[in-house]
Structure 1
Amino acid sequence: MQCRWLAISVKTFDSEEKPVIKEAGKLVITKPIPSMAILGDDNYKWYKESYFNLFPNVWWHGDWIMITDRGTAIIYGRSDSTIKRKGVRMGTLDI
């Protein structure tokens, strides 16, 4: 990708929740965006468990990404070889 998403705090985290550059890591969003679900409702428990379970208060997408020193991004694919639909984990075998 030529750049990260406009007005979205996309970062690469290593396994210790530290942002890294020029290193493959987990794609995360560290600040809320308008299209995120309202997290106060218990109906969104599956959403919280699916996307906020790895790093507290940080949305984790489940993909590997590297942010270059120019600010561009390379997405390598799934970090857990799983797609989560409403909290239900589907692996590549299911697809």
Structure 2
Amino acid sequence: MSDKHYSFFGAVEKSFDKAARFTKWDPGILEQIKACNAIYSMKFPVKRDDGSIDVIEAYRVQHSHHKAPCKGGIRFAAEVNQDEVMALAALMTYK
């Protein structure tokens, strides 16, 4: 088994690169299309019914600003991370 960490966003980028080889687009344009335009990371406290406070980590990614309003990646799950939300946002653009 490999010691490398799997990256969902890395896999999406790899697929993009494979498909991009079949186009005649300038490599600079392709890099601009591939990149996420905005990544927001925040933490905020939530008071539970029992009085305890949990800190929730949240991410918002806007992959492409070429048309407004932006669609991005969103996921409600305890195990979500920035890489996953970046991949979901990119896939929404490529859909």
When normalised by structure 1's length, the TM-score is: 0.28
Higher share in strand? 1
Higher share in helix? 2
Query: Who wins on radius of gyration, i.e. which is larger?
Result: 2
